[in-house]
Chain A
């Protein structure tokens, strides 16, 4: 470990290539915290957006027409507007107008922090795509399955939860993985509302240490590596679930 730190210190002094995160403890800790926050954001938003997707797909088949229209409105709105503007809208505009609560110092603060809004906004954004993905998957399940389940006495919810979702999961998996990868990339937007994720940490470091070139390269490589790992894992999962010859 020390050897690596010394090498990079030498690199900074002798060649002017300042990779401070390798030899400076403060910068390294900030960078790693940023990475961890990105991972946490991605995981929480994925789970939330999956839940939103499932609920939305369920509501799209509801008998109650306004529920269907509400879901459609939500999906079309969040798919056709920029996620950055959505994020700003939620954090600055909506967050401002919500009734404030008292924090431990006796100050009136918004009930949801910037991290909370980032999670909410990104989950809603990804959830809108998930609704359509689940919808497509459910469409592809053969009608015969649904009829068979109905004939066995499953209620509509039972059919959805026990028959449709598990079967459609295999079909939707590639699109879901795609969405997950996009979500991880979209977490960089939270930089604009000061969420301490990876891009934010890197920006902090380069604006203080003035080593933009080096940090940009490290950042790019880190993100590409992170996403590559994710893509590999998802690819493995897809292959594991595949049934040869079955192509609905």
Chain B
């Protein structure tokens, strides 16, 4: 007897809920300010841009940049580890507000994600190989096993141009471990990671080199949703990016994390210094 009364009451509450639901903030910047925190997708296996320290905290150059963004907005920073294969999905699903994860700025990706210009770094493709491999040019890779990571934009280009046998792993650590075990002749990746690995001075990498000429230079960009690109959030990030170049903050962070000084950053610093 009471059953229908309860059911009717529930229906009324649901209806009331629909009718009086507060309008949700559409713009990401408002959403961030309302939430009080910004969620940034970063790498946690790409030293020194984003990696894990023994306490489990993610640290690195990109994390410092993210901290700066959060500081300027006056909100807390929340970091979500992402990989090349899932960062764009996460952004478009709304899981993260911003991609700051060594993402290469390519025309195909621009269709899916909004790239913030000016770019905050530039990297190119190269191969980390043991000296004993004797690789001299890209065509030497033909038919050889080359380790790579899922989701990298250069995998297809390299495999189509030079015909190596690609051995693609889900993440960087597996690919590096495989290289060290001799399972492939080289590890195809961004030259910035290769350079920072080699220059870290670890004895394990003493017999390795970056033999080829870096190809296919790609600027890295911060990623926001296409809707945000020309909205308040996108504009804020663009201005901040110019500011970083002007103030030399990026060059300074490069030094702090031991990244090889990049001519790209010096160029951009000089270009914006005057403005």
Contacts and interface: CB of A to CB of B under 8 A. Distances in A.
Q: Are A and B direct contacts in the complex by CB distance below 8 Å?
A: yes
Interface in B89-135: 89, 108, 112, 130, 132-133
Interface in A165-202: 191-194, 200
Interface in A90-146: 91-92, 95-96, 100, 105-110, 113-114
B150 interface: yes
A237 to B, nearest CB: 37
Contacts of B169: 192-194
Interface in B173-191: 174, 177-178, 180-183, 185
A176 to B, nearest CB: 32
Contacts of B133: 105, 107
Interface string B231-266: 000000000000000000000000000000000000
Contacts of B147: 194
Say which size band chain B's interface belongs to. Answer: 20 to 34
B128 to A, nearest CB: 15
Say which size band chain A's interface belongs to. Answer: 20 to 34
Which of B85, B108, B177 has the most C-beta atoms of chain A within 10 angstroms of its own C-beta?
B177
A224 interface: no
A95 B85 contact: no
A100 B167 contact: no
Interface majority SS (helix, strand, loop, mixed), chain A? helix
B37 interface: no
Nearest to B108: A210
Interface of B: 84-85, 88-89, 108, 112, 130, 132-133, 144, 147, 150-151, 155-156, 167-170, 174, 177-178, 180-183, 185
Interface of A: 91-92, 95-96, 100, 105-110, 113-114, 191-194, 200, 203-204, 207-208, 210, 212
